[in-house]
Amino acid sequence: MTHNGGGMIARRDLTVRIAARTDLSPTCFRFILETAEEIAAVPGQFGMVTCGAGFDPLLRRALSIAGVARREGVTRVELMVKEVGRGTNLLRHATVGSTLRLLAPLGNGFTLAPVEGTCLGLVAGGIGLPPVLFAAERLAARNVAFDLYVGAASGGELLDVERCRAAAIAVGGDLVLTTDDGSAGEHGFVTAALQRRLDGGQRYGRLLACGPNPMLAALTRLARERALAAELSLEEPMACGVGVCLGCVVELEDGRYVASCKEGPVFSVDRLAARWWP
Amino acid sequence: MSIRLDTTVGALKLANPVLAASGTFGYGLDLLEFCPPESLGAIVTKGLSPRPRRGNPTPRIVETAAGMINAIGLQNVGVEAFCREALPELRARGAVVVVNVFGERMEEYLEVIGRCEGEDGLAGYELNVSCPNVTAGGMEFGHDPAPLERLTAMCRAATRRPLWVKLSPNAPDLVATARAALAGGADALTLINTMRAMAIDADARRPVLANGCGGLSGPAIKPIALRMVWEVHKALPGVPIVGIGGIETGRDVVEFLLAGASAVQIGTAIFRDPVAPLRIVAELESFCEEHEVAHVAELTGGLQWR
């Protein structure tokens, strides 16, 4: 039974202004949303965003927060969005300067604490980048060491590479890029690149990852085989984002279904049901 | 002009006619900073069974045109956890709480009511006989007048509190099920529950939902819900009706009241906007001001036919 309102950061439903929109790839774009109100968020948390007036699409879209900063009385929230259907198409064509509603921050975040004697491994696949990049920049600001693995279908779909590189370099870490088609970086899946480095003796105190489910399943297998701590940010179809619809549940190892919008979206791999390491 | 928003559903007095619907408002305490439960006419809990239920496999929800289909499968914490963990705070806040009751067998409905009868501060029960997403119980009572009357009568004998029956729009004869619930001793009828529906993934050639089918809610079903409220009101004048189905605005509430409802429930709108029930109360008040309706209860059944 969940009582909210006592969480670490208060949820708010705010009208925000679309201050900028930039294409990041043929399918992905960046939104900068501005408000005079304060919004705090930690990497892994998400927001529910309206996409257009009217009843079609009916529901908000759950979007992972890629960054949040407050300067001179203005909060700027960064989102990265992949156009996958009607809702995200409407968002892509929303007028810069117009407003939408943002319910945020929601859910929990990655564990960013350093692990004594090792560095962290950050792994992103495709549009799973936003919470991982947010984590990388927060870690860099705290001088916590990490390597950053970023995979995409092709070179053109690798997002924000220079920012990824800058975050990794700031703590002396590596940026490892992979593409499924070999058009940039290492050829193959990002989890395969991670596995090669683990086989070569690289050690990580904790893996933090977000990406498509097959990638997260591969990473779960890898983490469990090698007894590595790992946290995954999961994406499930979600109606409300606030724990009442019970649509977005994730099955845990003990058989329970828990709402990923409240107990997640970040889950430690040792809590997840067996379907994550088939 | 000061508007009276209070209304009654049978013997139950409500401060306003806007309620939160079962399955869209948790156990009443999930959205405190957006919509405190005591600010609504009443809240209806997530369907409670005697023991916790795990619910259906995923995917459980899919968005459709102006609606969504769900097949949650009545995942809930069980009546014991509700009474122990949520009810004390709901009571302390002064919320009007209607318990939505679910069982796979008739005895299970009685178990839930029996546990709640030991608690103060519950306003009544709403029998869920219309969930399209569980294999046992639920809809099988809701579709057939004879078992529905028996179930309602058994529950009636177990409590003196207000007893509502939430009817299924999927029943072959809506008015017959309404009559059966009343014959069994129901004080009021809630209509409608979700409409059985499905979504298909053309690429995969499979149903989208793990359950195959589910229940459609949202603005897409509002015209059907209005027609059903009106039909039952016409067939059974004077029977209190709680209207539900795709309500998004104060104007929608007025439409349901005109069709014959005494109060309404807000469901899917809460998923879009956690403040929706409070906004809708304010919009309803504005409508009454603009149209010089002194007391919202005057609207009930006020439809002018031609």
Domain ranges within chain A, ordered by starting residue: 12-106, 119-276
The predicted model gives B160-164 an average pLDDT of 98
The tokens describing B163, both together, are: 């007893």
Which among A103, A136, A98 is positioned nearest to A240, based on CA atoms?
A: A103
Which among B221, B217, B230 is positioned nearest to B178, based on CA atoms?
A: B230
| Interchain pair A251, B58: CB under 8 A | yes
pLDDT at A171: 97
pLDDT at A202 over 70: yes
CA distance A250 to chain B (A): 8
Annotated catalytic, B155? Answer: no
Q: Give the pairing type, strands A257-259 and B7-9.
A: unpaired
Q: Which pTM value belongs to this model?
A: 0.95
Residue appearing with tokens 């070179």: A155
Contacts of residue B29 in chain A, CB cutoff 8 Å? 1-4
**B65 in a domain, yes or no?**
no
**B133 in a domain, yes or no?**
yes
What's B253's domain CATH number? 3.20.20.70
Nearest-angstrom CA–CA distance, B109 and B98 = 14
Interchain contact A52–B (C-beta under 8 A): no
Nearest-angstrom CA–CA distance, B96 and B15 = 9
B2: enclosing H helix or E strand: none
Which fold is adopted by the domain A119-276?
Rossmann fold (3.40.50)
**B1 in a domain, yes or no?**
no
Bridge partners, residue B267, by sequence: none
| Interchain pair B218, A255: CB under 8 A | no
Which fold is adopted by the domain A12-106?
Elongation Factor Tu (Ef-tu); domain 3 (2.40.30)
| Interchain pair A245, B70: CB under 8 A | yes
**Per-residue model confidence as pLDDT tens digits over A127-155:** 999 999 999 999 999 999 999 999 999 99
Interchain contact A256–B (C-beta under 8 A): yes
**B209 in a domain, yes or no?**
no
Closest CA in chain B for residue A252: B54
Q: Within 13 Å of residue B167, how many CA atoms lie on the same side as its CB?
A: 29
Contacts of residue A236 in chain B, CB cutoff 8 Å? 58-59
**Catalytic residue among B35, B83, B116, B131, which?**
B131
**Per-residue model confidence as pLDDT tens digits over B92-106:** 999 999 999 999 999
CA A219 from centre of chain? 15
Q: By the 8 A CB rule, do B56 and B211 touch? A: yes
Nearest-angstrom CA–CA distance, A274 and A278 = 7
Q: How confident is the model at residue B137 (pLDDT cuts 50, 70, 90)?
A: low
- Domain containing residue B240: 7-56+72-198+216-299
Count how many domains chain B has: 1
Q: How confident is the model at residue B138 (pLDDT cuts 50, 70, 90)?
A: low
pLDDT at B43 over 90: yes
Report DSSP letters for B97-131, one per residue: EEEEE--SSHHHHHHHHHHHHT-SS--EEEEE---
CA distance A95 to chain B (A): 21
| Interchain pair A5, B32: CB under 8 A | yes
Interchain contact A253–B (C-beta under 8 A): no
Nearest to A246 among B75, B273, B275 (CB): B75
